[in-house]
Amino acid sequence: MSIPSIALTEPVGQEGAPVVVLGPSLGTSSIVWELVEPTLREHFRTSTWDLPGHGTSQKATDPFTVAELAEGLHRAMAALEGPVLYAGISLGGATGLELLLSHPDAVAAAAIVCASPRFGEPGAWHERAAQVRTQGTPVLVRQSAERWFDDIGRTPVLGGRLLHALSDADDESYALCCEALATYDVTARLGEIAVPVLALAGEADPVSPPDHAEAIAGGVRRGRAAVVSDASHLAPAEQPAAVAADLIRFFEEATR
């Protein structure tokens, strides 16, 4: 196993404000946050990162776990100053939970968005990894569109760009992310997490439905769950105003 190399973008936003680190979902890139960021930057600074082999990130060649992904993120965050907050979608959310477990003092609060303490059965992830290695990530576009969006017509431009990001993702890196998810399960350890956590779910998300957010919020020591109406697995892309409002309210309360 190895620690993936993670690079954060330079924080942008209100000078001197806390930094919100934004994590992406599997198959996308940091553009999944771009409709939310302008509103967040009125209150905070934002910094983003990409999964290995996604967006502008380096490709991965060696296996890694979600916990090791979190370790790579923690190393990248070492240069940040002042209070740091975190919000991650799906695999980015899982990375956030692992970060809270391995480095309890790394962030002041975390929003775990459209994520789960465990994502399905390991066999399904190994099957997807094998499929991508033989057929490439473009084979996933149709089914991903169905999972990611309640109605892609709400954000057709960004939705199309996110599906292109999936097609452009490095096949091996994507497969390694799948294999990391196959071994990911923090269900029994949620009670160790003491920082404030917002578990945010899309109302129509078939991957991480609202009851998964409730499980996270109920499992951690200081958790709260909320549901975004008319949204599926990529709620920040589909309902950016609602997600931004939830994050701002939560983070402002956590940093008072």
Is residue 111 domain-resident? yes
Is residue 124 domain-resident? yes
Would you say 169 and 137 are in contact if contact means Cβ atoms under 8 Å apart? yes
Question: What is the length of the chain?
Answer: 256
Alpha-carbon distance of 90 to 149, in angstroms, equals: 14
Instruction: Compute the average pLDDT of residues 91-109.
Output: 97
Strand order in the sheet with 19-23: 12-13, 45-48, 19-23, 84-89, 109-113, 197-202, 223-228
* Residues 229-244: tens digit of each pLDDT: 999 999 999 999 999 9
Place of tokens 């620690």: 3
The vertex-93 CA angle with 88 and 95, nearest 5°, equals 105
Is residue 1 domain-resident? no
* Residues 151-172: tens digit of each pLDDT: 999 999 999 999 999 999 999 9
Provide the domain count of the chain: 1
Summary mean pLDDT of the chain: 97
Percent of the chain with pLDDT strictly greater than 70: 100
Instruction: Compute the average pLDDT of residues 3-20.
Output: 95
Instruction: Compute the average pLDDT of residues 41-61.
Output: 97
Is residue 82 domain-resident? yes
The least confident of 62-66, 82-86, 110-114 is 82-86
- List all residues 6 or more positions away from 27 whose beta carbon is below 8 Å from its beta carbon: 54, 137, 140, 144, 165, 166, 169, 174
Is residue 139 domain-resident? yes
Residues of the domain holding 62: 12-254
Is residue 5 domain-resident? no
- List all residues 6 or more positions away from 58 whose beta carbon is below 8 Å from its beta carbon: 4, 5, 7, 52
Alpha-carbon distance of 198 to 44, in angstroms, equals: 17
Instruction: Compute the average pLDDT of residues 191-198.
Output: 98
What integer pLDDT is reported at residue 107 of this predicted model? 97
* Residues 127-149: tens digit of each pLDDT: 999 999 999 999 999 999 999 99
Is residue 89 domain-resident? yes
Alpha-carbon distance of 164 to 37, in angstroms, equals: 21
Instruction: Compute the average pLDDT of residues 250-256.
Output: 93
**The CATH number of the domain where 114 resides is what?**
3.40.50.1820
What integer pLDDT is reported at residue 1 of this predicted model? 63
- Residue by residue, DSSP assigns 119-147 as -S-HHHHHHHHHHHHHH-GGGGHHHHHHH
Number of other CB atoms surrounding residue 251 within 10 Å: 25
Model confidence at 105, pLDDT cuts 50, 70, 90, reads: very high
Is residue 128 domain-resident? yes
Q: Is 90 left (phi over 0), alpha (psi -120 to 50) or beta?
A: left
* Residues 55-77: tens digit of each pLDDT: 999 999 999 999 999 999 999 99
* Residues 21-39: tens digit of each pLDDT: 999 999 999 999 999 999 9
